[in-house]
């Protein structure tokens, strides 16, 4: 459970930094003290995260930090690529460029995940 929470903290900080410990605690459904311990644990593993006090303070992630792609399992990578392919196939989004970039990031060959012909239904 702690490992998932640590990743969630990183993802939240990548979306917007800084965030208060109270905000993170509410979002993660833990105490502010647990968040502070988690920040210490992340910092000890080399994640460039730190806390500041006062106005404008909170939990910060160093600008330009990029999450190592190896932290996403092969199955999770497959799930992400399949979801992008499904969205593209249904016409919900035009994500061809995005899916190609993510496939390159994951060092995966372009794959035809699933081809659905929706013309039958309409």
* pLDDT score of 36: 93
Is the pLDDT assigned to residue 39 strictly greater than 70?
yes
Residue in 98, 79, 82, 102 with CA at minimum distance from that of residue 90: 82
Half-sphere exposure (CA, 13 Å, Cβ side) for 117? Answer: 2
SS3 state of residue 4: helix
Is the pLDDT assigned to residue 122 strictly greater than 90?
no
Residue in 82, 67, 72, 83 with CA at minimum distance from that of residue 106: 72
Share of the chain above pLDDT 90, in %: 20
The phi and psi torsions of 68 (rounded to 5 degrees) equal: -65, 125
Is the pLDDT assigned to residue 19 strictly greater than 60?
yes
User: Per-residue pLDDT tens for 57-80?
Assistant: 899 988 877 766 666 777 887 887
31 conformational bin, left if phi > 0, alpha if psi -120 to 50, beta if neither: beta
């Amino acid at each position: 459970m702690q490992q998932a929470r640590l990743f969630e903290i990183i993802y939240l900080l990548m979306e917007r930094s800084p965030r208060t410990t109270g905000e993170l605690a509410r979002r993660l459904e833990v105490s502010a003290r647990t968040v502070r311990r988690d920040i210490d644990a992340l910092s000890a593993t080399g994640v460039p995260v730190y806390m500041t006090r006062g106005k404008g303070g909170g939990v910060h992630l160093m600008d330009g930090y990029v999450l190592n792609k190896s932290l996403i399992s092969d199955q999770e990578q497959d799930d992400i690529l399949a979801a992008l392919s499904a969205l593209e196939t249904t016409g919900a989004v035009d994500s061809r460029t995005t899916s190609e970039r993510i496939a390159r990031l994951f060092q995966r060959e372009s794959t035809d995940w699933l081809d659905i012909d929706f013309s039958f239904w309409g």
